[in-house]
Amino acid sequence: KATKRNGHIVMSPFMAHGHLIPFLELARQIHERTSFTITIAITPLNIQYLKSAISSNNDIQLAELPFNSSQHGLPPNIENTEKLPLPDFIKLFHASVSLEAPLRSLVSKITQEEGHPPLCIISDVFHGWVTNVAESFGTGNISFTTCGAYGTLAYISMWSNLPHRKTDTEEFWVPGFPKNYTFQRSQLHKHIRSADGSDAWSRFFIPQIALSMKSKGWICNTVEEIEPLGIQLLRNYLQLPVWTVGPLQPPASLKSSKNRAGKESGISVEACIEWLHLKDQSSVLYISFGSQNTISASQMMALAEGLEESGKSFIWVIRPPFGFDMNAEFLAEWLPKGFEERMEDNKRGILVHKWGPQLEILSHSSTGAFLSHCGWNSVLESLSQGVPIIGWPLAAEQAYNAKMLVEEMGVSVELTRFVETDISKEEVKKVIGVVMDQKEGRGKEMKEKANEIAVLLATTENGQENDSSVRSMDGFVRTILSS
Ligand code: UDP
């Protein structure tokens, strides 16, 4: 039997930047705490991606699972969401199930070599099929949600309780939430709204989530104190242990992100930071929609116009609009005439193409707010720095994160939702004003609340003995050692 000394954990992350990086940090933290061997099993190009993202992470093993994207109708040599056109995402989800056979071979090899199966397999919630693999080797599967508890619960419950197309009222109840708690139809992403159990999205998410709900417990990248409601509800809904071990933000990724931003964006990280140095405290709006999303052409135009009229300074990580090749050259016609030059000339704002040094920007004292798609990593990174959020959810569970940020945390105003919605420059200007004017009113309140959450997140990061995430991680380790 495996012991604390020779324990081995295998991890199976989903193929997306926002999943791989928290997995890597989870691996690093478990290894540091226990000396267990940790093997992350993932496809060849994602191994290269992880290797370039980490500088000194030699203690974590990376095991290659063969994968040929063309066999799944994906563009050649594409193994994660980042360079994938959005309509192809569903193909990648379905393709991920093909990793079952190579994962079985890997676990079999480890079991033979070590004389016993791994302590457990930690798999992405999207990789529910791993529960079958774990079971056949007589070990346990632990699901890891890289999202927050509230967003995770809303997301899994919505997929498990279809259809929502027939939701005939604007407001409706979601199982798992208190009876008087309502969501809005407009918060349903189009894939969930039109799902009926037979479409490609349902055929992936329904069974994978159901299988993940049969695992031995869930790990969640959150902190008990910042979303008590979501965590309590998620525990009730799953009837499983939920270990809250966040925030999982690797110092190493800061380095990789920095190198990458310099290489891909055409503007050096140092130049960005120097530009921020010249600005007043909390006076700059940072805009980014994460690693894989973008807004529509008409939304981009309205955002630029509203931004210009708001008079606020900004750094905008920008990609071609929805429907265009994400990797294509950026065309000036997607923005108001002369916008980029005007903003540069009067030192109002910088456009950073493709990839920005997000952690450096958020941690700079000149940054006052973050216009974000509310991806969970971005949410944690922003709140860790006490930066309030202007929400613009685009996919996945982001609309539920946005709802929680507004209603439960009080650190955000939601500007709009998704890529199909029309927005006007007036709305953009108004919301930017509300959130960025932090001397009084709502802007001040949101800033204060964000600062309070930053304190909770920082305490956790310091890893103090009485800290809830440390206790939770210890509870997880005790459980897998005793089962
Ligand atoms: N990120 C970055 N620079 C960019 C875009 C994204 O460093 O230009 C990082 C960001 O710091 C975060 C992650 O990529 O850690 C995005 O994760 P999130 O969960 O916010 O969104 P996703 O990309 O999964 O939609």
Mutate to test the pocket of ligand 1, among 377, 384, 400 (most ligand atoms within 8 A of CB): 377
| CA-closest residue to ligand 1 atom 24 | 18
What value does the mean pLDDT take over residues 122-137?
98
Does the predicted interface ipTM exceed a cut of 0.95?
yes
Starting at the earlier edge strand, list the strands of the sheet with 242-244. Answer: 60-64, 37-42, 8-12, 120-124, 140-145, 217-220, 242-244
**Measuring from each residue's beta carbon to the nearest atom of ligand 1, which residues come in under 6 Å?**
16-18, 21, 257, 288, 290-293, 317, 355-356, 358-359, 375-378, 381
pLDDT tens per residue, range 13-67: 999 999 999 999 999 889 989 999 999 999 999 999 888 776 655 689 999 999 9
Asked about 124 being catalytic, the answer comes back as yes
Using an 8 Å Cβ cutoff, are 160 and 195 in contact? no
The number of C-alpha atoms within 13 Å of 267 and in the hemisphere containing its C-beta is 19
Q: Which residues contact 269 (CB under 8 A, 6 or more apart)?
A: 258, 261, 262, 357, 360
Residue 190 CA to ligand 1 centre (angstroms)? 22
Banded pLDDT at 326 (limits 50, 70, 90): confident
Pick 401 or 252 by higher pLDDT.
401
pTM above 0.80, yes or no: yes
Pick 269 or 462 by higher pLDDT.
269
Three-state SS for the chain is CCCCCCCEEEEECCCCHHHHHHHHHHHHHHHHHHCCEEEEEECHHHHHHHHHHCCCCCCEEEEECCCCHHHHCCCCCCCCHHHCCHHHHHHHHHHHHHHHHHHHHHHHHHHHHHCCCCCEEEEECCCCCHHHHHHHCCCEEEEEECCCHHHHHHHHHHHHCCCCCCCCCCEEECCCCCCCCEEEHHHCCHHHHCCCCCCHHHHHHHHHHHHHCCCCEEEECCCCCCCHHHHHHHHHHHCCCEEECCCCCCHHHHHHHHHHHHHHHCCCHHHHHHHHHCCCCCCEEEEECCCCCCCCHHHHHHHHHHHHHHCCEEEEEECCCCCCCCCCCCCHHHCCCCHHHHHHHCCCEEEEECCCCHHHHHCCCCEEEEEECCCHHHHHHHHHCCCCEEECCCCCCHHHHHHHHHHHHCCEEECCCCCCCCCCHHHHHHHHHHHHCCCCHHHHHHHHHHHHHHHHHHHHHCCCCCCHHHHHHHHHHHHHHHC
Q: What are the Cα distances from residue 438, in Å, to 284, 445, 446?
A: 12, 8, 8
Using an 8 Å Cβ cutoff, are 147 and 397 in contact? yes
| CA-closest residue to ligand 1 atom 7 | 358
The number of C-alpha atoms within 13 Å of 182 and in the hemisphere containing its C-beta is 9
Bridge partners for 318 per DSSP: 353
Token reading at 293: 């999303």
Residue 356 CA to ligand 1 centre (angstroms)? 9
Residue 437 CA to ligand 1 centre (angstroms)? 26
pLDDT tens per residue, range 423-457: 999 999 999 999 999 999 999 999 999 999 999 98
What's the residue count for the chain?
483
Least confidently predicted of 120-124, 230-234, 241-245, 462-466: 462-466
| CA-closest residue to ligand 1 atom 15 | 377
Least confidently predicted of 56-65, 302-311, 320-329, 425-434: 56-65
Provide the mean pLDDT of the chain.
92
Which among 17, 124, 164, 373 is annotated as catalytic? 124
Residue 355 CA to ligand 1 centre (angstroms)? 9
Ramachandran class of 266: left when φ > 0, alpha when ψ lies in -120 to 50, beta otherwise: left
Which among 19, 127, 364, 373 is annotated as catalytic? 19
Banded pLDDT at 253 (limits 50, 70, 90): very low
pLDDT tens per residue, range 174-221: 999 999 999 999 999 999 999 999 999 999 999 999 999 999 999 999
Residue 352 CA to ligand 1 centre (angstroms)? 14
Asked about 474 being catalytic, the answer comes back as no
